[in-house]
Amino acid sequence: MTKVNQKSVSRLSKDVFSVIYNTSVEGILAVDTHGVILLANKSCYQLFGYSDQQLIGMKVEELIPIKYKKDHIKHRNGYAQDPKPRKMGQGRDLVALRSDNSEFPIEVSLNHAEHAGKAIVIAFIIDITKRKNTEEALKRSEEKLLQYASELESRVQDRTKELAEAVENLEKLNSQLEQEIKIREKAEIEARKAFERERELNELKSRFVSMASHEFRTPLSTILSSASLIAKYNEKETEDKRLKHVVRIKSNVNDLTGILNDFLSLGKLEEGKIENNPTKFDLNIFLTELLDEIKSGLKSEQSIIYEPFEKNLEVNLDKMHLKSIITNLVSNAIKYSPKQETIKILSYLKKDDLIIDIKDNGIGIPINDQPHLFERFFRAKNVINIQGTGLGLNLVKRHVELINGNISFKSEEGKGSTFSVKLPVKTT
Ligand SMILES: Nc1ncnc2c1ncn2[C@@H]1O[C@H](COP(=O)(O)OP(=O)(O)OP(=O)(O)O)[C@@H](O)[C@H]1O
Ligand SMILES: [Mg+2]
């Protein structure tokens, strides 16, 4: 180990101190306990803008803006009570005053020493203007950034709200469109139905014209020949013959009226003009009266037997529909049965349904024709020589369906047929 000379060490330390003191960028200030400046290095003069030696003897408070002076004196006295190395102005910004009264931010660290038996305070001062500026610039850009971020956020929120509104509007529009489409589709279906009805009605009319020209010819020529014969039979002795022809005319006119009535009801049913208006009435009374009317059309020695299973059976039905159904079915039974045959009519209840059977022992229906029986204008092969339009059963089916019932039949060619009508009725 090299021996170190104490004297040379002390000289070295003085030299090192002098270099630090004179070249340091920090301002170094020595102040007595009253705040009087005892010593200031070159940097101090540059920092505070004073010329050589001017600082010596000045109060340190002269280097501080007036507003902080009082506080500084308090702090300085405090430090004198408890001197130890520390940073000055912890937690607050320190501001210094130049000779030209301009202010600048500083950072100060304090130290204490003793000189000639008196306490002195040594302050190291750094101008932190640049740092503060950078900090402030940073703060400003940070604030700007924050502001930008919050603007961005509120713009995003606005945009999201607009989008949500747009989506909601689109959804509304969509459901409106769906609604419109539904309405249009419904209207289209209605229009198609109406068109279909119109087409069917036109077809019906044209078929009626061709049917009428065929079916009307025979009764009309009968009427014509009977009428001309009546004109000839003007003698008293020919009274019987005249009356016979009058009866024939009446029956032919009746037939024609029947065809026209059938056609008119079919037209009304097609147009949906006929409704279901049920009323309460006694079924047996109604059927007995109706069958009495129909009996006038019976062939010689034909008879009708009505067998009601229930007495005083009150039903709730549309009389007009029921009359049309029974009249058509019984007229067929009469028409397609030979003379002397008996037609049986039964009525009974099956749960909440009323069943009416019309049974004949007539010519029956060929098996191949049976599937088409309820079609408009359809007539079986075995009835070519019997008058008819083929409208009756079609009408019956429509009436039955209008009152929520159904119709079925069983038949064997040459043996007879039974038509069975099932109608929902509420009995009391
Ligand atoms: N009771 C029955 N016995 C045998 N055939 C029948 C009977 N009822 C109906 N038919 C057959 O069904 C066809 C259709 O009957 P529908 O009552 O519709 O017409 P139609 O009797 O020929 O003419 P109309 O329109 O004058 O009644 C008849 O032409 C006939 O072939
Ligand atoms: Mg008929």
pLDDT value at 211 more than 80: no
| Residue with CA nearest ligand 1 atom 17 | 392
Q: Ligand 2 center to residue 416 CA distance, Å?
A: 15
Sequence spans of domains, the chain: 6-127, 134-198, 216-273, 275-424
Convert the pLDDT of each residue in 161-190 to its tens digit: 999 999 999 999 999 999 999 999 999 999
**3-class DSSP state of 351:** coil
Atom index in ligand 1 nearest the CA of residue 369 equals: 31
- Cβ(37) to ligand 1 under 6 A? no
Smallest Cα–Cα separation from 354: which of 405, 306, 305, 282? 405
Structure-block tokens of residue 179:
């609604």
Convert the pLDDT of each residue in 182-206 to its tens digit: 999 999 999 999 898 888 878 877 7
Tell me, what amino acid is at 202?
A: N
Smallest Cα–Cα separation from 61: which of 95, 89, 87? 95
State mean pLDDT over 82-88: 79
- Cβ(393) to ligand 1 under 6 A? yes
- Cβ(110) to ligand 1 under 6 A? no
Q: What is the mean pLDDT of the chain?
A: 89
Per-residue confidence (pLDDT) for residue 260, from 0 to 100: 80
pLDDT bracket for residue 3 (50, 70, 90): low
Per-residue confidence (pLDDT) for residue 223, from 0 to 100: 86
Atom index in ligand 1 nearest the CA of residue 364 equals: 4
Pick the more confident residue, 29 or 266: 29
- Cβ(358) to ligand 1 under 6 A? no
Q: Ligand 2 center to residue 329 CA distance, Å?
A: 7
Q: Ligand 1 center to residue 18 CA distance, Å?
A: 143
Per-residue confidence (pLDDT) for residue 46, from 0 to 100: 93
User: For residues 36 and 16, what is the distance between their CA atoms, to the nearest angstrom?
Assistant: 26
Ligand closest to the CA atom of residue 365: 1
Pocket test for ligand 1, best of 360, 374, 383 (most atoms within 8 A of CB): 383
Q: Ligand 2 center to residue 391 CA distance, Å?
A: 7
What is 275-424's CATH number?
3.30.565.10
User: For residues 185 and 192, what is the distance between their CA atoms, to the nearest angstrom?
Assistant: 10
Q: Which helix (H) or strand (E) holds 123?
A: strand 118-127
- Cβ(219) to ligand 1 under 6 A? no
pLDDT value at 242 more than 60: yes
For residue 56, the 8-state DSSP code is T
pLDDT value at 207 more than 80: no
Compute the CA torsion angle 323, 326, 330, 332 (nearest 10 deg). Answer: 100
Q: Ligand 2 center to residue 308 CA distance, Å?
A: 24
pLDDT value at 379 more than 70: yes
Convert the pLDDT of each residue in 289-321 to its tens digit: 999 999 988 988 999 999 888 888 899 999 999
Q: What is the CB neighbour count within 10 angstroms for residue 358?
A: 23
Task: Examine domains 6-127 and 275-424 and report if their fold is the same.
Answer: no
Ligand closest to the CA atom of residue 396: 1
Cβ–Cβ < 8 Å for 388, 379: yes
**3-class DSSP state of 422:** strand
- Report CA Rg, the chain: 63
Per-residue confidence (pLDDT) for residue 428, from 0 to 100: 47
- Cβ(388) to ligand 1 under 6 A? yes
- Cβ(208) to ligand 1 under 6 A? no
| Residue with CA nearest ligand 1 atom 19 | 390
Cβ–Cβ < 8 Å for 324, 399: yes
User: For residues 368 and 353, what is the distance between their CA atoms, to the nearest angstrom?
Assistant: 30
User: For residues 93 and 106, what is the distance between their CA atoms, to the nearest angstrom?
Assistant: 8
The Cα angle at residue 198 between residues 194 and 204, in degrees rounded to 5: 145
Q: Ligand 2 center to residue 258 CA distance, Å?
A: 10
Percent of the chain with pLDDT over 90: 57
State mean pLDDT over 261-289: 86
State mean pLDDT over 126-137: 91
- Cβ(364) to ligand 1 under 6 A? yes
Which CATH topology does 6-127 take? Answer: Beta-Lactamase (3.30.450)
